[in-house]
């Protein structure tokens, strides 16, 4: 008879559980032992694979949903803050303290659609914006620039940018696309710039998008103009109605 068969259906007493806990408390499993355990478990099918637990009641199944929307108490918050104190995501701008679980994983189309439908029409509050800015301040500048360049480099041309690009190619206008993080002015990345030595930048935008995500389209335009004028740059704005051959040639010639 196996020792596993002997213990089948039997329950340990509370005294035995406490003795085992005291005996194992403070013990650290060496790396060699961990490797042996992991190697021995390879290829084994778990005993509960495909089995449903009949003893769990409906109230137990919905226990996680019962917790939804209930805020943590101050004691719990203090415990969490103490446990996470000193643990930051950035380590001198090089490595993460903990591995990223979703590294290399791609979201399905259904998931992307769900996220977009939930986020549609939502505007960030001032408090939320402050928290994001404070969190970004802790990240080193070099690393922040690398992240923004990577993010922008991954994105392709938008439908409006493609339209604008077609006009540039058609009439051989001296402008090139830099909206993928190739050019920055004070952390601001324009969509197009002049390639004949003239200091002219172009922003192609959708008014609805800017009103939702930037608070107000006009304020966003004024802020951009101020920053670009500091360095002697002229900036031209083209919205969704102004992207046509006649308007672009009239303004850029």
Residue 70 included in any domain: no
Residue with the bigger pLDDT between 56 and 234: it is 234
229-240 mean pLDDT: 92
Residue 21 included in any domain: no
One DSSP character per residue, the chain reads --HHHHSTT----HHHHHHHHHHHTT----HHHHHHHHHHHTTPPPTTTT---TT--HHHHTHHHHTTTPPPPHHHHHHHHHHHTT--S-BTTTB-SS--TTTT----HHHHHHHHHHHTT----HHHHHHHHHHHHTS-HHHHHHHHHHHHHH----HHHHHHHHHHHHHT-SEEE-TTTT--BTTB--SEEESSS--EEEEE--HHHHHHHSS-HHHHHHHHHHHHHHTT-EEEEE-TTT-SHHHHHHHH-
Number of structural domains in the chain: 1
Residue 227 included in any domain: yes
Residue 144 included in any domain: no
**Would the pLDDT of 143 be above 50?**
yes
Residue 49 included in any domain: no
Residue 183 included in any domain: yes
Domain assignment of residue 171, given as a range = 151-252
Reported as a single tens digit per residue, the pLDDT across 8-63 is 677 888 888 888 888 887 777 777 777 787 777 777 788 778 877 666 555 555 55
Residue 190 included in any domain: yes
**CATH number of the domain enclosing 226:** 3.40.960.10
**Would the pLDDT of 92 be above 50?**
no
Residue 234 included in any domain: yes
**The pLDDT of residue 167:** 92
Predicted TM-score (pTM) of the model is 0.47
Residue with the bigger pLDDT between 225 and 96: it is 225
């Amino acid at each position: 008879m196996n020792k596993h068969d002997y213990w089948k259906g039997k329950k340990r007493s509370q005294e035995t559980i406490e003795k085992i806990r005291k005996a194992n408390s403070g013990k650290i499993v060496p790396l060699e032992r961990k490797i042996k355990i992991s190697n021995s478990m390879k290829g084994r099918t778990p005993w509960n694979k495909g089995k449903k637990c009949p003893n769990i009641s409906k109230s137990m199944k919905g226990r996680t949903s019962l917790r939804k929307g209930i805020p943590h108490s101050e004691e719990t918050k203090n415990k969490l803050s103490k446990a996470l104190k000193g643990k930051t995501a950035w380590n001198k701008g090089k490595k993460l303290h903990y591995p990223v679980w979703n590294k290399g994983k791609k979201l399905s189309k259904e998931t992307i659609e769900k996220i977009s439908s939930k986020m549609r029409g939502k505007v960030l509050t001032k408090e939320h914006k402050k928290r994001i800015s404070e969190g970004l301040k802790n990240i080193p500048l070099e690393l922040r620039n690398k992240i923004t360049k990577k993010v922008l480099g991954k994105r392709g041309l938008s439908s409006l940018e493609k339209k604008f690009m077609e006009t540039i190619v058609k009439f051989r206008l001296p402008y090139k696309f830099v909206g993928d993080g190739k050019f920055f002015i004070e952390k601001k990345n324009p969509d197009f710039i002049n390639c004949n030595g003239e200091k002219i930048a172009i922003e192609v935008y959708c008014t609805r998008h800017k009103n939702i995500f930037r608070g107000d389209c006009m304020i966003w335009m004024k802020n951009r103009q101020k920053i670009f004028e500091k360095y002697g740059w002229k900036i031209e704005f083209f919205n969704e109605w102004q992207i046509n051959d006649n308007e672009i040639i009239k303004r850029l010639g």
